[in-house]
Amino acid sequence: MILDLNRVKLSIGAVPILHDVSLRVATGEIYGLVGPKGAGKSTTLATAIGLLKPWLGEVKLLGRDPAEAGPAARKEVGVLPERNGFCGWMSAEDYLSFYARLCGRRSTRTDLSSALELVGLSTFATTRTDAFTQNMRQRLGLARAVLGSPRLLVLDEPTGGMDASERREIHDILISIARGGTAILLLTESLEDIERVCTHLGFIVAGRTVAEGMLAESFADQGPRCRFRLRLSGPIPDDDPTSRPARMIGREGEWTVVGVDPARRADEIWRELMFRGWPIVEIVRANQGLQELYAELTEASSPPGRMAA
């Protein structure tokens, strides 16, 4: 296992940030950690590479505790933070060479050229970085992260500021890198990134891993609650919502969307609702995609317990 976080809890000062975060990334896998702003994704990144040490739980990076191993544990890790700092007076190639020396890595001109070619910047090797667009800066940051052929890439919003075609180019690059045996931890708010490139997926909400599994399709098929669309001929009775066998999720046009416990028989649930006075005319099983699951997991003010997909 390249990276393993197990039930990690972490505070910065007196403020708890991570309450219960778990994830595992193996060779050749792309693990997407998705969640809203402030969920704890960047703190998870810092913890994974040993910049922050949790007060509870276990972190193993290439079999070692990265906080105790220090810089030695990060020699085989390439990192792309959400915010990059570039020296605008340097060319792309000079910047990569400077960064390699700064990190104590031996990189030949061929290595630098290969990294720039990988991310589509080979024709801009001698261009000053202050002339780069946001898209080009993201690509240069990715080129910097892959220098030295790291065993793990940790990428924070690698497609930020890109349009659809540019994002797809980065997706293809990441898939190619993973097929070469590199493990990738991808932190993002983009469900498009997750759906297209990830082999594994975890949702983080308010510092907690609330769901995880192997594929986005697993979440679509085995969400936390089965979803149905109901067509009603009248209003829902004014009863106690906490005792209902179905939870209201929202409305889609003339349909009322509900979530039900998959452990219960659906016909028993509809019978109970009609006994309560629900004017049900039609029932349709809703396909739960990643977007719907993301909304369901993040809408609650109190995050649910961790679930396996």
- Cα dihedral sign for 63, 66, 68, 70? positive
CA-closest candidate to residue 32, choices 151, 161, 159, 165: 159
- The phi, psi pair for 199, rounded to 5°, reads -95, -25
In this predicted structure, what is the pLDDT of residue 222? 46
pTM of the predicted structure, to 2 decimals:
0.77
Sheet with strand 246-252: strands edge to edge:
246-252, 255-260, 226-232, 280-285
In this predicted structure, what is the pLDDT of residue 158? 93
Which residues are paired to 187 by β-bridges?
33, 156
Q: What domains appear along the chain, each with residue ranges and CATH number?
A: 1-76+150-223+288-309 (3.40.50.300), 225-287 (3.30.70)
Question: Cα(175)–Cα(75) distance, rounded to whole angstroms?
Answer: 22
- Per-residue pLDDT 10s for the chain (309 aa) are 999 999 999 999 999 999 999 999 999 999 999 988 889 999 999 999 999 999 999 999 999 999 999 888 888 999 999 877 788 899 999 999 998 988 887 788 999 999 999 999 999 999 999 999 999 999 999 999 999 899 999 999 999 888 888 998 999 999 999 999 999 999 988 888 888 899 898 989 999 998 887 654 445 444 445 778 899 999 888 888 778 888 887 787 788 888 887 667 777 889 899 999 999 998 887 755 677 677 767 765 344 444 444
Question: Cα(33)–Cα(201) distance, rounded to whole angstroms?
Answer: 6
Whose tokens are 């003339």? That residue is: 254
One-character DSSP codes across the chain: --EEEEEEEEEETTEEEEEEEEEEE-TT-EEEEE--TTSSHHHHHHHHTTSS--SEEEEEETTB-HHHHGGGGGTTEEEE-SS----TTSBHHHHHHHHHHHTT----HHHHHHHHHHTT-GGGTTSBGGG--HHHHHHHHHHHHHTT--SEEEEESTTTT--HHHHHHHHHHHHHHHHTT-EEEEEES-HHHHHHH-SEEEEEETTEEEEEES-HHHHHHS-SSEEEEEEESSPPP---GGG-SEEEEEEETTEEEEEE-TTS-HHHHHHHHHHTT--EEEEEEPP--HHHHHHHHHH-SSPPPPEE-
Tokens of 7: 């039930």
